[in-house]
Amino acid sequence: MPASSSLPDAPTELSKKYETSLGIAHTTMQALKDRIRLHYDLASDYYLNLWGEHIHHGYWPTPESKNTDSKETAQVNLIKLLLDISQLSPSDNHPNPNGGETMKTSPPSLRILDVGCGLGGTSRYLASTLGAAVTGITISGKQVQMATRLSKKVAAAAPTGNVADISAAAADDDDDNDNDDDDDDGFIPLAGGGKVRFLELDAEKMGEHFSGSSQASGSDGDDSRKFDIVWITEALSHFPDKGLFFRNAQSLLRKGGKLVLADWFKAEGLEKELLEKDIKPIEDGMLLPPLCTQQQYVELGTDAGLEVLSPPKDISQDVSKTWEISWSLVQNPSLWAFAFSQGRDGIAFLQAFRAMRRGYANGSFRYAVMAFKKP
């Protein structure tokens, strides 16, 4: 496969066979959300088989890591970076002194909302590493089913709480090994004192959904029942109303709570030619409304009443390897045939992998992490 620095958008024989034009604008935002839901309902099994339990970029921060770290290690590297910039660590939590056996009746101190949780890989990692109660939400009912099943398998197969064992158990998916040991709130207890649950929910409705629940409610001036952390990785770029997300996050966070974020962006000040050549095909194929810049997220966050805890850290060059690996992994005739059977969206999605590589190589497409805090 050609190196991304020389021919980042070089076609393969498969991609030439299924060539389609990219850059077509989405019709309505509701139609776009419906297409996103359908995409994840149809494609999540492929995501798990090809990319694993974490549906997000890998992070290779050093020359050594770029040469040696697997995609699975790189995906965990990204989570660790987000924990670092948001000043979170296992010591921030205060686990129940009686141990994990009593977690059903004495919940962990940290409450985390994982928005756009995918297959629940990050939710499980955070729950087990921080001893937290993590609620994952996704627009896809299929992902809720898969995340729940994977979590029950992890709970049964990785009693040590070792993160490597947890990842291995999730990767070795098997429908026949479910564990029905849920608590009364639908949480699945995990080793390490944490627990997870997954809900099918449009993130634009998370404010009204959780504001009426015990998870986020409390008397005026008492925010002890709200979330300590709202976590979102590569999901906000899909949302039509990003300002609404920031306002919802602010309302659901306790005082001092943190919004932790990683996402895709367009570069500042792009000329029309690069916007049309690099960004529009990504928005089309990846089912995105118009991409924002990193500074626009900062402005949306502060407008919603949040303080910047960690300003945008651009790690584009340290995550771009994701698309070299991905482009190699999808060179499978049966995968392209399946995509073709799903209509134009399926083929446009795979073809957009080339646009992602080109955007990173040209500097027009960016990736950054950042964190906010509720004062």
CATH number of the domain that residue 254 is part of: 3.40.50.150
In the numeric block, which tokens belong to residue 143?
């992902």
Any domain includes 188: yes
**Helix, strand, coil percent content, the chain, rounded in steps of 5:** 50, 15, 35
Any domain includes 143: yes
Q: Which residues contact 297 (CB under 8 A, 6 or more apart)?
A: 236, 242, 261, 263, 265, 312, 370
Look at residues 4, 20, 17, 58 and name the one whose alpha carbon lies nearest to residue 335. 17
Whole-angstrom Cα distance, residue 236 to residue 246? 10
Beta strands in the chain (DSSP E): 111-115, 133-138, 188-189, 195-200, 227-233, 253-266, 307-314, 365-373
Domain range for residue 235? 67-91+108-157+183-209+223-374
pLDDT at residue 302 is higher than 90: yes
User: Which pLDDT score, from 0 to 100, does residue 106 have?
Assistant: 45
Any domain includes 103: no
Most confident range (mean pLDDT) of 95-109, 223-237, 293-307 is 293-307
pLDDT at residue 68 is higher than 90: yes
Any domain includes 326: yes
Whole-angstrom Cα distance, residue 261 to residue 280? 23
Number of domains in the chain: 1
Any domain includes 87: yes
For residues 259-274, average pLDDT: 95
Whole-angstrom Cα distance, residue 315 to residue 336? 30
For residues 23-51, average pLDDT: 73
Q: What is the DSSP letter of 236?
A: G
Any domain includes 28: no
The model carries a pTM of 0.83
Tell me the β-bridge partners of 122: none
pLDDT at residue 279 is higher than 90: yes
Query: What radius of gyration do the chain's Cα atoms show?
Result: 20
User: How high is the mean pLDDT of the chain?
Assistant: 83
pLDDT in tens, 145-180: 999 999 999 898 765 445 555 555 555 655 544 445
pLDDT at residue 241 is higher than 80: yes
In the numeric block, which tokens belong to residue 248?
């919802």
